[in-house]
């Protein structure tokens, strides 16, 4: 399937520089684009990547469209290159159509479940008692939905998602394969020389427009709810413990782990492999760098890094200081030798016996 460069420019309402009749056969990233492909340049920080690029054309922003590095390409100039490119890609790789509405014959569904007819319930899905599923949902093969769950409209549950009992998911949320929502929190107390389980009697509430990655776990509250706020995105293999309350539009990268009863404000960003101690509050707009270890509350808008995590400037000063430790050690040794020499010389001038120069 090919499209002319002019047709693609018209699709994204862009300004074309180059031959509008040039055929384009694909869309690819800068490094992998071939001579019949179109690619995109996000900003001027990527200009150096064009040196070895073989693409036939670029989708590019106006600020860098006339840069010498881009001048050898045909160009579609737009305000937002990424958004434009995302409109172009489906012309070469059409999105898969949604499954036809209906219920697979191998699905096992409680007679008390209430499922909107405009849904797809795939093979080997299990749906428990008193479940409610709204309009336009896609429930893929192998999903298990426990008793009392409430699922809004246009929700997608990919294969082998497990919802324990009493999980609430609002409209347009997406849960990827293998996510487990509502398992018991890690709650025990030590009595009589053994760990005794604390009953986990709460629930999970996932608000609208949330996306949860593959094999991510969100535990139910011990008492009350574990909450994932509207628009929040959790990457693969994230752990959210019991009674955490995550704000709106947070973004957590892979392997983040939050211990029990943590909370965040809105627009919090957490990079990969960050670990957070229980009952910590991460206030709105803060960010935490990769592999950080968070042991205390983080103020709004601040960026913390390191282990233990501290404000970015403080942590950088610490790192730079540690790098100088070997040099400082050598300087200290030299000063000790010099001091011993000066002490011996001073003693000799005073006529004190039996003092040697080091």
Determine the pLDDT at residue 56.
95
3-state class (DSSP) for residue 347: helix
183 and 87: one domain?
Answer: no
Determine the pLDDT at residue 57.
95
Within a domain: 329: yes
CA distance 195 to 315: 38
* Model pLDDT for residues 230-254, shown as the tens digit of each residue: 999 999 999 999 999 999 999 999 9
188 and 296: one domain?
Answer: yes
**Are 113 and 127 spatial neighbours (Cβ–Cβ below 8 Å)?**
yes
Determine the pLDDT at residue 354.
54
Determine the pLDDT at residue 357.
47
Give kind and range of the element (H or E) at residue 332: helix 325-350
User: Tokens standing for 72?
Assistant: 């050898």
Strand arrangement, sheet containing 281-282: 114-115, 132-133, 150-151, 167-169, 203-206, 225-228, 245-246, 263-264, 281-282
Which residue in the list 140, 205, 242, 249 is annotated as catalytic? 242
pTM over 0.75: yes
Give kind and range of the element (H or E) at residue 314: helix 312-323
CA distance 254 to 233: 11
* Model pLDDT for residues 91-124, shown as the tens digit of each residue: 999 888 889 999 999 999 999 999 999 999 999 9
Determine the pLDDT at residue 358.
46
Within a domain: 164: yes
CA distance 215 to 271: 17
Determine the pLDDT at residue 334.
85
For the chain, the C-alpha Rg in angstroms (whole number) is 30
16 and 132: one domain?
Answer: no
Pick the closest to residue 227 from 270, 174, 263, 200 (CA basis): 263
**Is 279 noted as a catalytic residue in this protein?**
no
Low-confidence ranges of the chain (pLDDT < 70): 320, 352-358
% of the chain residues with pLDDT over 90: 80
DSSP character at residue 298: B
DSSP character at residue 323: H
Within a domain: 82: yes
Within a domain: 319: no
Determine the pLDDT at residue 353.
60
Question: Exposed, middle or buried by CB within 10 Å (0-12, 13-18, 19+), for 202?
Answer: buried
CATH number for position 32: 3.40.1390.10
Q: How many domains, the chain?
A: 3
CB neighbours of residue 208 within 10 Å: 17
161 and 288: one domain?
Answer: yes
Question: Exposed, middle or buried by CB within 10 Å (0-12, 13-18, 19+), for 220?
Answer: buried
Determine the pLDDT at residue 285.
97
Can you give the residue range of the structural domain that contains 62?
A: 3-91
């Amino acid at each position: 399937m090919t499209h002319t460069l002019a047709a693609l420019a018209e699709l994204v309402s862009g300004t074309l520089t180059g031959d509008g009749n040039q055929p384009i056969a694909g869309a690819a990233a800068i490094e992998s684009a071939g001579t019949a492909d179109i690619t995109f340049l996000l900003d001027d920080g990527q200009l150096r990547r064009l040196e070895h690029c073989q693409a036939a054309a670029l989708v590019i922003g106006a600020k860098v469209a006339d840069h010498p590095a881009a001048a050898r390409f045909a160009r579609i100039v737009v305000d937002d290159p990424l958004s434009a490119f995302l409109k172009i890609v489906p012309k070469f790789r059409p999105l898969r159509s949604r499954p036809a509405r209906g219920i697979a014959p191998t699905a096992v569904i409680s007679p008390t479940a209430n499922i909107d007819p405009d849904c797809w319930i795939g093979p080997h899905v299990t749906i428990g008692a008193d479940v409610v599923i709204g309009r336009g949902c896609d429930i893929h093969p192998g999903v298990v939905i426990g008793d009392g769950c409430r699922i809004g409209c246009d929700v997608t549950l990919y294969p082998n998602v497990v919802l324990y009992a009493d999980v609430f998911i609002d409209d347009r949320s997406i849960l990827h394969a293998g996510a487990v929502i509502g398992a018991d929190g890690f709650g025990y107390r030590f009595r009589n020389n053994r760990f005794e389980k604390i009953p986990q009697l709460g629930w999970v509430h996932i608000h609208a427009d949330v996306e949860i990655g593959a094999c991510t776990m969100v535990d139910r509250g011990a008492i009350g709810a574990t909450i994932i706020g509207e628009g929040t995105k959790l990457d693969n293999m994230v752990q959210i413990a019991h009674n955490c309350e995550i704000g709106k539009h947070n973004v957590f990268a892979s392997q983040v782990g939050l211990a029990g009863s943590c909370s965040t404000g809105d627009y919090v960003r957490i990079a990969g492999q960050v670990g957070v101690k229980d009952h910590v509050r991460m206030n709105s707009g803060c960010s935490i760098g990769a592999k950080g270890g968070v042991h205390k509350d983080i103020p709004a808008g601040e960026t913390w890094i390191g282990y233990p995590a501290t404000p970015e400037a403080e942590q950088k000063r610490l790192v730079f200081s540690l790098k100088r430790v070997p040099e400082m050690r050598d300087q200290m040794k030299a000063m000790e030798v010099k001091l011993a020499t000066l002490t011996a010389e001073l003693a000799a001038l005073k006529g004190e016996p039996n003092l040697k120069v080091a």
